[in-house]
Amino acid sequence: MVSAALSMILAVSVLSGCTGSGAQAGSAQAQSTQAASAQAQSTQAASAQAQSTQAASAQAGTGSAAGGEVSVLLPEWSDPGEEAIASFEKQSGIKVNLNIMGWDQIHDKVTIAAASKESAADVLEVDWSWAKEFITAGVVDPITLTDAEKKTFPLYTAFDVGGQISAIPYMTDYKVGYYNTEHFEKAGITKAPETWDELIADCKKIKDAGVCKYPMAFTLSATEGNATQFLWLTLARTGAVFNADNSLQQANLQDSFSFISKALKDEIIDPAAISMQDTEVDKLFKNGDASFIIASTTFMETANNAEESKVVGKVAPMLIPGNKDIKSATFGLPEGLGISKNSTNKANAKAFIDWYLSVDTQISNFGKQGALPSNMDAFKKLGDEKKILGAEVIEQQSDYLTTPFPNGVPSWYSEYTTSAAQYANGMAQGSITPEQAAEKLAEDVKGFNAE
Amino acid sequence: MMNRKRGNKWGMLGYTLMVLFFLFWTIGPIVWSFMISITPKTDTMISPAPLFPAHSTWKNYQQLLAGVLTPGKVNQEARMFKIGMTNSLVSCLLVIVVGSPVCLLAAYALSRLRFRGKKMIHALLLATLVIPLFSVIVPIYKIYSDLGLINNYFGLMLVYISAFMPLTVWLLCSHFESLPIDLEEAAKLDGCRPMQILLHILLPISYPVLFAGALIMFISTWNQFLIPLILSPTNSTKPIAVIISEFVTKNTVNYGLMNAGGLLAVIPPVIIAIIFRRFLISGLTAGAIKG
Amino acid sequence: MRKNKSSYFYILPLALIMFGLIYIPVIITLVYSVVNLNLLKPAALTFVGLKNYIRLLKDPDIWTAAVNSTTITVIVLILTVLLGLAFALMLFKNTRIKGILTGLVIIPWAMPGIVNGIIWRWMFHPSFGLINSILQKLNMIHVPVQWFSGRWNVLMVVSLSVAWKCIPLAAVIFLAALQSIPEELYESAAIDGSGAFDKLRYITLPMLRPSFVIVLTTTAITAINVVDEIVSLVGMASANNTLMTEIYLRTFKYMRFSEGSALSWLVMIVCTVIGVIYIRNVNKKAGVYDE
């Protein structure tokens, strides 16, 4: 457990060295024009800023806020549950208005509210991919974390965009590899592959042994899940996705595209993956129709849930394969809580967030939803009690946490995803070649940066 | 009506074929939806799909109807489902009760009365049909936010009425305009005022169209998604369509539950349609004009 | 001419709602479309004239989306008018089951859009869809048909799904119109010796002409505006996008409000032009009260 914490800290210090510099000037400028256009909100923004730093410097606990309300907007899987909320209300004297909304819809709602300079809720769900967007669009206030807090929540770096932290992570999520132990056994494979070449060889063995027709689970439909796959694939195969100036590493992407294209031709990936969303591909594996998948840290729990999976007890985690230069690589996709910029209850918002991120609440949420805590103390505790399945390998994978974005996730990430998914899908259908796909994507990225 | 004497056999054959096709086309997908809703999570997404799931489970329905089936032991889904159904019903009833008079009065004015600006209003009303919802949702949100009408049944009702009144008014106008004007002229000469003409002469022979209009408003309101998503974010006004969309977790979509929810959610509109069907009867016109 | 002040009373509620909740927001949207409102590039709002419009017209994705929207609309219109009328005639027949049939007919319409999308997706899914499963069992195909790959395949499936949803409304409108045709017309025609087919041709269809206009227009509008089903069915990818999904993408995902508003206005203008040309040719009025 200690090693996990240390390795996370190591990853954090590497990451924090990378962020900043060029992007900082840009974001400062954005912030000043934003303040200018905020009209009547500007004075309020200034005083709210003072208020939030004040709340941030208050030590752990809910001492400063007493009475009043707070509205919270969360997706269904982050619901702490009625009892927990009731105990918070009792302890703090703050009434909680909890709104649960579909994840996509949260983004829509928040966007509309921001356009009218309203606040959708005091405490907002912030996904890592929205981190930059939300700051630029004036949805959330930047948060200041103390050094101690940074140590406790090392994944805050995913929300660090150009020096501004848009949210505090409330759960840990990054990609890990998983394989079907039964398939591997039947095909006579004794250890998990460590490089991509080994992986392909293993898949071919499984296929030839008649154990599984399409061993590799990978989505190729034109959806967001598809685009994120190429991010970790490139990180693990060639290293960099984006350069320091946010242009695309075209050669690396082309390598990833070619790799998948070949796997598809060799029928290691199901041709029907062209139409499959990532949840459907996950299900393929859980039905026992695939041997290998790369999925989130929570996958282990659901794959061993008899209500959902047919491969209970036959799943083992493994490090994402690398190649001769890279042992492994993964990146974090955490979700966090942010404080709405136009909120009038910022102190209460901070109090709620503090409570939500406390060790007890984190552990209770893990019990309910299977979400790995972002709070290192909670994580340690669960590990000590042996409550996390496959903990060893999952921790080990965290040693290789890196990020595709040297400057933090860019504000045009959403458009990038649409383009990337579309070209990957087109390549899978055979209408463009991997070279063309990489070329077009690089061009689009140039366009995004130029705007 | 079909000619009774000669074509009866062909008529019945044609009718039966039509009904069969109708059932296949309309109910086929519904049956499939039902199959999905009784498939346990482990058995979903099997290739090739079985026509009937190997193991069936009523769990999804139990989850949604927990409040009814096992009173006292209510889980989250059941609670949300009940809230959604109640909110939807309230919204729909409000819309019919307030919307029908508004549309009726307006349709009467636009087809039978004179006033300045009539042509313009009529044209503007029809023009609203082309306005896509997305474009106006942002300004409406801002306006409502300022007026404090978010999360408010009254505010929601107004938006729904604004969405459905063009069609309803159009239906009513077109109906009024197809009625010969003699009867009303006669009443006018007798000294009746417009309101009396509307209530005593036009209304009784307009039931089919009026109930069709009310049915349209009810069902259109029932399956609304985007408007309530934005304008009613909390449980006090969230309708069923939005609730169903929330049966997803981070990495899985609970298809069985969503289908079960969808099927249960169409039951009230179906009942309303069957009830309203009684009122969509002709024959009321017979005698009114001649006599 | 008597100045009919009381006429305003009839039209007032509608006018208030229309102006307040539709036209004011629409004007605001127009304002958005000629400024540079992009939440991800916050800057002082400046007037940029037609820049957004020109940029959209130059974007090939928009033209692809336009073709997609048009294709879907045309297919949906044909299916809806034909099947809507057929079902309405079926429902019109006075049999004992007509109540239940009416209830069943509206199910596709009452179903929340998201569930619709899921049902059709699971029917046509290449791996675990019902259609491929049946085709394989009947030995008609050996390799699963990839219904969702390729632009035209996708458009076909989407059109089916949207038509399925639109037909009930068409059927209800036609049914109401059918019910309103005075029975005497049929009776006098029967006395004159007309058969069933003649009655259909010379009485029913002409009397239904106004409803045709209504059905065509509302169906077209619905087909253009549909988003929930499409996203549920196939997600969002440039080749398959319709104009509405593009508006949704640009406004909500990319936060480029000005572009989204400009695109909405483009769609509105095109629809209005088509609508005006069409409606001009089919209007008939009975008349107003003469004074």
Rounded mean pLDDT, C261-277 = 88
What distance separates the 2 farthest-apart alpha carbons in chain A?
70
Please report whether residue B206 resides in a domain: yes
Residue B163 half-sphere exposure toward CB, CA atoms < 13 A: 29
Which residue among B45, B141, B248 places its CB closest to the CB of A280?
A: B45
B residues 210..239 contacting A (CB < 8 A): 229-230, 233-235
Which fold would CATH assign to domain C15-280? Answer: MetI-like fold (1.10.3720)
Please report whether residue B71 resides in a domain: no
C128 touches chain B (CB under 8 A): yes
Q: Is the pLDDT of residue C35 over 80?
A: yes
Contact B250, A75 (CB under 8 A): yes
Please report whether residue B177 resides in a domain: yes
pTM beyond 0.90, yes or no? no
Please report whether residue B272 resides in a domain: yes
Question: Which residues in chain A are closer than 8 Å to B235, comparing Cβ atoms?
Answer: 99
Q: What is the CATH number of the domain that holds B221?
A: 1.10.3720.10
Please report whether residue B204 resides in a domain: yes
Ranking A102-111, B64-73, B134-143, C16-25 by mean pLDDT, the lowest is: B64-73
Question: Which residues in chain A are closer than 8 Å to C42, comparing Cβ atoms?
Answer: 30, 33-34, 37, 136-138
pLDDT level of residue B281 (50, 70, 90 thresholds): low
Q: Tell me which chain B residue has its CA closest to the CA of residue A370.
A: B250
CA distance C265 to C5: 35
Helices and strands (H, E) in chain B, number of each type? 15, 0
**Helix pair angle (B207-222, B76-112), 10° resolution:** 140
| Percent of chain B with pLDDT strictly greater than 70 | 90
Which residue among B32, B135, B219 places its CB closest to the CB of C110?
A: B219
Question: Which residues in chain A are closer than 8 Å to B256, comparing Cβ atoms?
Answer: none
Rounded mean pLDDT, C32-53 = 84
Best residue of C238, C245, C248 to probe chain A, by most A CBs closer than 10 Å: C238
Contact C277, C213 (CB under 8 A): no
- pLDDT tens-place string over residues A364-407: 888 777 778 888 888 888 878 877 888 888 888 888 888 888 88
- pLDDT tens-place string over residues B194-232: 787 778 888 888 888 888 888 889 988 998 888 888 888
pLDDT of residue B73: 64
Contact A408, A215 (CB under 8 A): no
Please report whether residue B290 resides in a domain: no
C65 touches chain A (CB under 8 A): no
Q: Is the pLDDT of residue B131 over 70?
A: yes
Contact C147 A422 (CB under 8 A): no
pLDDT of residue A25: 32
R_g over Cα of chain B: 24
Q: Is the pLDDT of residue C285 over 50?
A: no
Give the distance from residue A179's alpha carbon to the nearest chain C alpha carbon, in angstroms. Answer: 22
C residues 187..226 contacting B (CB < 8 A): 190, 195-196, 199, 207, 210-211, 214, 217-218, 221, 224-225
Per the prediction, chain C carries an average pLDDT of 84
Contact B141 A308 (CB under 8 A): no
Low-confidence ranges of chain A (pLDDT < 50): 1-65
CA distance B36 to C37: 44
pLDDT of residue B282: 46
CA distance C130 to B50: 8
DSSP three-state, residue A235:
helix
Sign of the dihedral through C-alpha B139, B144, B146, B151: negative
C158 touches chain A (CB under 8 A): no
Contact C254 A415 (CB under 8 A): yes
Please report whether residue B20 resides in a domain: no
* Count: domains in chain B: 1
pLDDT of residue A317: 92
Q: Is A96 left (phi over 0), alpha (psi -120 to 50) or beta?
A: beta
Q: Which chains would you list as touching C if contact means 3+ CB atom pairs under 8 Å?
A: A, B
Q: Residue C148 CA to chain centroid, in angstroms?
A: 23
ipTM of this complex > 0.90?
Answer: no
Domain boundaries, chain C: 15-280
Q: Which chains would you list as touching B if contact means 3+ CB atom pairs under 8 Å?
A: A, C
Q: How many CB pairs under 8 A join A and B?
A: 81
DSSP state letter for C266: H
pLDDT of residue A127: 92
Q: Which domain does B86 fall in, by range?
A: 79-279
Sign of the dihedral through C-alpha C267, C268, C269, C271: positive
Please report whether residue B273 resides in a domain: yes
Contact A412 C40 (CB under 8 A): yes
**What structural domains and CATH numbers belong to chain A?**
25-172+335-393 (3.40.190.10), 175-330+412-450 (3.40.190.10)
